[in-house]
Amino acid sequence: MDAGGIGIWGVPLAIFAGAIRVSTPFIFVSLGETITERSGRINLGLEGTLVFGAMTAYAIAVLSGSPWLGVLAAMGTGAVFGLVHGWICKWPKVNDIAIGIAMMQFGLGLAFFLGKPFIQPAAPHLPSIQLGAWSDLPQVQAALNINALFILGGVLALFLWWAFRNTRIGLVLRVVGDSTDAARAMGINPDRVRLLATVVGGSLAAVGGAYLSLYYPGSWNEGISSGQGLMAVALVIFARWNPIGCFLAALLFGGAGALGPALQSVGVTQGYYLFYAAPYVLTLAILIATSSPTRSLAGAPGALSLAK
Amino acid sequence: MTVEANTAAISIASERSSVLRPVLEWLARRAEPVVISFGAILIGLALFSIFILVIGKPPATLFQLMYTGGFGSWFSIQNSLSRAAPLLLTALCVALPARLGLVIIGGEGAVVLGGVAAAAIALPFIGMLPALLVLLLMAAAAMVVGGIWIGLAGFLRHYRGVNETISSLLLAYIAIALMNQFVEGLLRDPASLNKPSTSPLPAEYMLGKMPGMDVHWGLAIGVVACIASWVLIEVTSYGFAARIAGGNVRAAQIQGLPVGRLIVGFTAIAGSFAGLAGMIEVAAVQGSANASLAAGYGYTGILVAFLARHNPLAIIPVAVLLGGIDASGGLIQRRMALPDATVLVLQGTLFVVILFCETFYGRFKIFNPDLWKRSA
Amino acid sequence: MTRLLSMNRRHFLQASAAGALALTPGLLPSRALAQSALTVGFIYVGPKDDYGYNQAHAEGAAALKALPGVTIVEEENVPETVDVQKTMESMINLDGATLIFPTSFGYFNPHMLAMAAKYPDIQFRHCGGLWQESKNPANTGSYFGYIFQGQYLNGVVAGYTSKSKKIGFVAAKPIPQVLQNINAFLLGARAVDPSITCQVIFTGEWSLAVKEAEATNALIDQGADVITCHVDSPKVVVETAAGRGAFVCGYHANQSPLAPEKYLTGAEWAWGNVYTDFVKKLQAGEKLGNFVRGGLKDGFVKMSPLGPAVPAEGRTKFDATLAEMMTGKFSVFKGPIKDNKGNVVVAAGKSYAEDAIELESMDYLVEGVVGSTA
């Protein structure tokens, strides 16, 4: 191949690079939703929280000049969204799946409304760490130019996996998620635990959104999300509520999302829409393969309405 | 007064008004959903007004413009009705499975695929068959395809245990990708260079407007579908069985009800309505299938269904209300320099408040006549 | 103008008929209309400040605000469904607009045509090249610019700046306007160095940030070092390309503030001139043109100032080509041209003028473009 282009090797490299780039929001949203669902609550409104977080992070970054301040602000608004969702859902007769969809619409609407003045300005981006300096190929260097949040996400996944098993908080969370009655018998207040779990979940989802607007694609507009918030919920089920599983599944999804443009760049141009559908098909296939009508979803927290 | 005196007073009063009492009881039971729904809407509007005040605009002007844009003139009313027409059908796609206890949010997928199927099947028959037959054929194709798509979600739910909310949503994304692929690839009309579409329907084959109105027949079709759904659920034994299954699947299975067939059947019917909405969009508005089919009717339908508490008859006024809110969005944007997302914020607020107010059902004694009279 | 209309249908119809009559040019002495109040409606498919297509139109609309007696009403984020019909009707009935500019491709058929048939006294002008005298009513029309000339100039500058001899194009959908741009970009680069190739990736949507970023990365991974695009909002492409160290040519509007070092030049719309012209004609009672087009020469299109990275010889060639285009005699699509499958699409000796109607149905990618239209 001519110098500069790497030909067919572009595809696996692009998938690898894309996996890292595109997976980061999935990592954060799915980790957040794992915490929420482990406590027995489902939050489908994370798409709204994610987009609102993206808007907040971008706006604060533009106004203050610091992307990290934007991330912190996003965590704050994500926590508020989680709080609202969690508080409303603890009332009897409220359908938490429906509330999730409603919060998603509300979050999206509010984000678009408040974010109008920020479509034009350019915000400072989050830093990345160059792990590919050893290579001469610019493509490898670009692929290994990994964003700080991705690394943070990986560390967080490991920490949560360890914490669920080995800490008291992890145990409390799991008990509340498996059986409301057992938790009460142990003297735990399940409502409060679920509320906190939803708050933390919302906060992390908003960080995922902040990544979208402050790193990749690094811009704020109304089309910033392609359904990551909703797909992350499916991802959590696929990963069996295991944080490390979430991290790996997020990488898988990221790679699938990068497939379309990567293939086009080496000349596979037929049917590119079908490639763009690849992540969704993958999710559905995995869901079908791992679900079963007889047992409730294996590994599912018992109190989760999804699994009943 | 003492408790005994109170009770005596009530007994005496009720004896005197023994004719009135059953009427009051009937009213009280019926009033609960109406009062709570209206109360929820008022609370939602109040919260929204606070939001508008905070950003420095006058809520009174906003509501006035909403009225003008939505219902303030014959033009506005027709505008609202046009927007409500597809919502009637896509809301049914959410409401029908909801009576079974399923939350299906992927109606958008059935809409776009129904539209593509309708456009595709019409092509070979133009010029050969009369317009009415072609339209019926299009409707049938759309309903079959839409029914299969959502029925698949129901099938996966019952026979594989896959959560229908997520599966229907994923199916919707896949459907949109398929639609784009068909419209720009296989079925593309070579003459539609600038906006890839299927071959256009000749004008005489299109679904026309209702007499005297600027709204197409899709509105009437939607209303008929809502009434038919209400009959299905409330009157037929099939619907009765479905409601039982929706209350408690285990109990229904023990009773011997064919829960699997009910689930697949209802989701298929729901999907067929959404597919029909896609066909109407092609036959009455666009004249061909193209990317504009994915206009969000499916998603707004979710909102309508929940606001109507999944009652097919209530869907009709709610769809018109939402159509009116949508219709006024443009006017608000132009006159008050507010972004179009204002309408989204209002809808989201109403949605959240109405869902929250579900918790008030059964809490107010006034609506439960059984709790009125204490035995003496 | 903002009087609420009464609910009585008969009154409403009478009022709107009277209003339409009063504002129809030609029925009143033109002297009286010279400075008459005029409401012009603009409809955008996306946000007005997208650094791209819609912003270009909004900037053009803003130019009208300076004209006396002209009020503009704008609505953004209007999808290409029956919604836009209702928006047009709302502008006509409730705002009293008599000149409507629905600016997105998908508004033309059936929406604008339906409204034009319903309101024969209102003028509608669509941005695109779709109007046909035999098929479409006289109160409609199209206006467009030969922005592919701008992309040709982009290509010239890219040709001088590219070191890898590979340039890249992020495209939305393979429609003729986009294909003209892709081909012109490559032809401009090949005028400088015939060995240059251009890779194109179609995202499939007019505005999808993640896909645009992915496509830009994929192009750069394959070696392209100058990137341009045809999507609604080039902001993501410009920022991503510049972030990876590639050079970038702008489109629709001037994106140089986003990447001042890497921005070479850009092909921009100059709609302000077009809109002002329409409005002045309407105010003077003249008939509006139905098929209005122009390029650099007529002021419909303009180029961004050259950026710091353009080499000196690039500047010279750019200026020379631009000057030639200003005379109206320069042809971008001059034969012999083959498409990238080997067929001859423009015969030797044939050349298409900027307004050649055949260009409106372009369906090929020229030789040297790596990619496919389907």
CATH number, domain at B314?
Answer: 1.10.3470
Structure tokens at C171: 């495209």
CA-wise closest residue to C196 among C169, C238, C158: C158
- 3-state secondary structure at position C204: coil
Closest Cβ opposite residue C86 in set B74, B82, B286: B82
Closest Cβ opposite residue B330 in set C75, C204, C361: C75
CB proximity list for C86: less than 8 A, separation 6 or greater: B79, B82, B83, B327, B330
- Residues C225, C247: Cα–Cα separation, whole Å: 6
Predicted confidence at residue A3, as pLDDT, reads 38
Q: Is residue B162 part of a domain?
A: yes
Residue C181 has pLDDT above 60, yes or no: yes
**Of residues B49 and B15, more confidently modeled:** B49
Residue B250 to chain C, least CA–CA distance (Å): 45
Closest Cβ opposite residue B285 in set C4, C73, C81: C81
Cβ–Cβ of C175/B193 closer than 8 Å? yes
Cβ–Cβ of A98/B158 closer than 8 Å? no
Strand partners, C252: C268
Q: Chains with 3 or more CB pairs closer than 8 angstroms to B?
A: A, C
Predicted confidence at residue B4, as pLDDT, reads 64
Residue B121 to chain C, least CA–CA distance (Å): 21
- Residues C141, B286: Cα–Cα separation, whole Å: 20
**Alpha helix (H) ranges present in chain C?**
9-23, 30-33, 53-64, 82-94, 113-118, 147-161, 176-192, 209-221, 235-243, 271-283, 312-326
Residue A129 has pLDDT above 90, yes or no: no
DSSP state of B182: I
**Of residues A112 and A287, more confidently modeled:** A112
Tell me: cis bond preceding C336? Omega within 30 of 0 counts.
yes
The fraction of chain A above a pLDDT of 90, given in percent, is: 36
ipTM surpasses 0.90: no
- Residues C49, C55: Cα–Cα separation, whole Å: 5
Residue C285 has pLDDT above 50, yes or no: yes
C72: phi then psi, degrees, rounded to nearest 5: -110, 145
Structure tokens at A56: 């907040």
Residue A39 to chain C, least CA–CA distance (Å): 32
Q: Is residue B372 part of a domain?
A: no
CB proximity list for A148: less than 8 A, separation 6 or greater: A126, A127, A128, A129
User: Per residue in B122-147, is it b (16+ CB within 10 Å) or e — as a string?
Assistant: beeeeeeeebeebbebbbbbbbbbbb
| Residue B86: closest C-alpha in chain C | C82
Q: What integer is the mean pLDDT of B72-78?
A: 87
The helix or strand, by DSSP H or E, that contains position C168, with its residue range, turns out to be strand C166-171
- What band does B180 get if pLDDT is binned at 50, 70 and 90? confident
pLDDT tens-digit profile of C343-357?
998 888 888 888 888
Partners of residue B281 in chain C, C-beta under 8 Å: 81
Predicted confidence at residue A124, as pLDDT, reads 84
Partners of residue A108 in chain B, C-beta under 8 Å: 344, 348
Q: Chains with 3 or more CB pairs closer than 8 angstroms to C?
A: A, B
Tell me: cis bond preceding C110? Omega within 30 of 0 counts.
yes
Range 117-176 of B in CB contact (< 8 A) with C = none
Report in angstroms the alpha-carbon separations of B111 from B143, B173, B316.
Answer: 9, 12, 19
Is the minimum CB–CB distance between C163 and chain B shorter than 8 Å?
no
Partners of residue A88 in chain B, C-beta under 8 Å: 352, 355-356
- What band does A293 get if pLDDT is binned at 50, 70 and 90? low
Is the minimum CB–CB distance between C130 and chain B shorter than 8 Å?
yes
Is the minimum CB–CB distance between B185 and chain C shorter than 8 Å?
yes
- Residues C210, A225: Cα–Cα separation, whole Å: 8
Predicted confidence at residue B155, as pLDDT, reads 93
Structure tokens at B260: 């699997």
Predicted confidence at residue C22, as pLDDT, reads 38
Residue C35 has pLDDT above 80, yes or no: no
Cβ–Cβ of B340/C75 closer than 8 Å? yes
CB of C364 within 8 A of CB of C179?
yes
Closest Cβ opposite residue A120 in set C49, C199, C207: C49
pLDDT tens-digit profile of B311-363?
999 999 999 999 998 888 888 888 888 888 888 898 889 889 988 998 888 78
Task: Number of A to B CB contacts under 8 A, please give it.
Answer: 133
Mutate to test the interface with C, among B82, B178, B181, B193 (most CBs of C within 10 A): B193
- Residues A209, B83: Cα–Cα separation, whole Å: 32
DSSP state of A123: P
Q: Report the greatest alpha carbon distance in chain B.
A: 87
- What band does C205 get if pLDDT is binned at 50, 70 and 90? confident
C303: phi then psi, degrees, rounded to nearest 5: -110, 145
Partners of residue B186 in chain C, C-beta under 8 Å: none
Predicted confidence at residue B183, as pLDDT, reads 86
DSSP state of B372: T
Closest Cβ opposite residue A280 in set B170, B185, B306: B170
B248: phi then psi, degrees, rounded to nearest 5: -160, 105
- What band does C374 get if pLDDT is binned at 50, 70 and 90? low
Q: Give the end-to-end CA distance of chain B in Å, rounded to a whole number.
A: 15
Residue C252 has pLDDT above 90, yes or no: yes
Cβ–Cβ of B166/A277 closer than 8 Å? no
Q: What is the pTM of this model?
A: 0.83
Read off the amino acid at residue C237.
V
The helix or strand, by DSSP H or E, that contains position B275, with its residue range, turns out to be helix B259-280
CB of A58 within 8 A of CB of A64?
no
Predicted confidence at residue B248, as pLDDT, reads 77
Domain that holds residue B324: 58-337
Cβ–Cβ of C89/B79 closer than 8 Å? yes
Report in angstroms the alpha-carbon separations of B347 from B303, B354, C94.
Answer: 8, 11, 24
Predicted confidence at residue A196, as pLDDT, reads 94
Q: Is residue B351 part of a domain?
A: no
Mutate to test the interface with B, among C3, C74, C90, C92 (most CBs of B within 10 A): C90
pLDDT tens-digit profile of A162-207?
999 999 999 999 999 888 888 899 888 999 999 999 999 999 999 9
Partners of residue C82 in chain B, C-beta under 8 Å: 82-83, 285
Structure tokens at C370: 């790596």
CB of A18 within 8 A of CB of C178?
no
- 3-state secondary structure at position A274: helix
Q: What integer is the mean pLDDT of A271-295?
A: 77
Tell me: cis bond preceding A117? Omega within 30 of 0 counts.
no
Closest Cβ opposite residue C128 in set B194, B286, B331: B194
Q: Is residue B28 part of a domain?
A: no
Partners of residue B285 in chain C, C-beta under 8 Å: 81-82, 110
Q: Is residue B170 part of a domain?
A: yes
Mutate to test the interface with C, among B78, B334, B335, B345 (most CBs of C within 10 A): B334
How many distinct helices (H) and strands (E) make up chain A?
13, 2
Q: Which of A259-268, B195-204, B356-365 has the lowest mean pLDDT?
A: A259-268
Is the minimum CB–CB distance between B178 and chain C shorter than 8 Å?
no
Residue A5 has pLDDT above 50, yes or no: yes
Predicted confidence at residue B371, as pLDDT, reads 74
- Residues A15, C306: Cα–Cα separation, whole Å: 36
Q: Which of A270-279, A282-291, C180-189, C316-325 has the lowest mean pLDDT?
A: A270-279
- Residues B85, B346: Cα–Cα separation, whole Å: 20
Partners of residue A276 in chain B, C-beta under 8 Å: 177
CB of A177 within 8 A of CB of A38?
yes
pLDDT tens-digit profile of C48-68?
888 899 999 999 999 998 888
Is the minimum CB–CB distance between A117 and chain B shorter than 8 Å?
no
Residue C92 has pLDDT above 80, yes or no: yes
Q: How many domains does chain B have?
A: 1
CB of C216 within 8 A of CB of C247?
no
Report in angstroms the alpha-carbon separations of B21 from B5, B18, B156, B331.
Answer: 20, 5, 49, 48
Residue C98 has pLDDT above 80, yes or no: yes
Cβ–Cβ of B349/A106 closer than 8 Å? yes
Long-range contacts of B61-68 (CB under 8 A, 24+ apart): B61/B336, B62/B332, B62/B336, B62/B338, B62/B342, B65/B328, B65/B331, B65/B332, B65/B335, B65/B336, B66/B324, B66/B325, B66/B328, B66/B332, B67/B328, B68/B328, B68/B331, B68/C4, B68/C5, B68/C94
Q: Is residue B290 part of a domain?
A: yes
Mutate to test the interface with A, among B356, B357, B361, B364 (most CBs of A within 10 A): B356
Structure tokens at C150: 């701008």
Q: Is residue B174 part of a domain?
A: yes
Report in angstroms the alpha-carbon separations of A144 from A141, A148, A156, B94, C73.
Answer: 5, 12, 20, 45, 49
Is the minimum CB–CB distance between B228 and chain A shorter than 8 Å?
no
Closest Cβ opposite residue A217 in set C202, C240, C372: C240
Q: Which of B73-82, B198-207, C13-22, C328-337 has the lowest mean pLDDT?
A: C13-22
Is the minimum CB–CB distance between C259 and chain B shorter than 8 Å?
no
Q: Is residue B375 part of a domain?
A: no
| Residue C198: closest C-alpha in chain A | A265
User: Per residue in B153-171, is it b (16+ CB within 10 Å) or e — as a string?
Assistant: bbbbbbeebbbbbbbbbbb
Q: What integer is the mean pLDDT of C146-171?
A: 94
Predicted confidence at residue A33, as pLDDT, reads 94
Closest Cβ opposite residue A267 in set C220, C225, C370: C370
Cβ–Cβ of A4/C201 closer than 8 Å? no
